[in-house]
Amino acid sequence: MRSFIALLSLSAVLFGADGYAVYKKHCMQCHVELISKQETMKIFKTLKAPPMVEVSNRLKENVLITDDDDDVKRRVIIAFIKDYIDNPSLDYSMCHAGAIERFGIMPSQKGELDADEKEAVATWVFDRYEDVTFD
Ligand code: HEC
């Protein structure tokens, strides 16, 4: 068991912060991880922010890159999320107007996450939902 834990902490050192752990610590209290649109409508009144699946999908829909390389789009969205964690603003938000009216603008998390944690969580927000489809 001890060596297993040692291995886990070694991998955290080698591969940087764990994006899902960062999400659970800093984002989950507002952004639900995964929920269908129908369920979202049902519990909308209890939500504090758009579900993370919506955030991720919305960014992917909105950010259009003409370069053929998909990784360019991924990098641009990850950079946007990293910046948004520190500097949320009405000028940059791509959320639906209705969502902003309901939730307000996200409070800045400046100083809460280090650079590695921001990179890890932003990458997680992009990659987590790559194969998720609801009908
Ligand atoms: C205190 C509640 C709260 C916390 C904590 C929070 N958010 Fe948000 N977030 C919001 C709200 C409300 C919005 C919708 C309004 C907006 O776009 O600013 C939002 C929107 C966003 C957006 C969408 C921006 C866009 O333009 O579409 C991203 C990306 C985001 N949050 C990432 C994160 C990440 C990553 C974390 C954790 C590190 C986090 N949020 C933590 C409340 C929160």
Q: How many residues does the chain have?
A: 135
C-alpha 125/C-alpha 20 separation (Å) is 9
Per the CB < 8 A criterion, the answer to whether 47 and 64 are in contact is no
- How many other CB atoms sit within 10 Å of the CB of residue 27? 21
Residues 6+ apart with CB under 8 A from 67: 73
pLDDT for 133: 78
- Residue 55 alpha carbon to ligand 1 centre in Å: 8
Q: Is the model's pLDDT at 106 over the cut of 80?
A: yes
- Answer yes or no: is the C-beta of 84 below 6 A from any ligand 1 atom: yes
Q: Is the model's pLDDT at 40 over the cut of 70?
A: yes
pLDDT for 109: 98
- Answer yes or no: is the C-beta of 100 below 6 A from any ligand 1 atom: yes
Q: Whose CA is nearest to atom 15 of ligand 1?
A: 105
pLDDT for 16: 80
Per the CB < 8 A criterion, the answer to whether 126 and 78 are in contact is yes
Confidence category of residue 48, pLDDT binned at 50, 70, 90: very high
Mean pLDDT of 42-47: 94
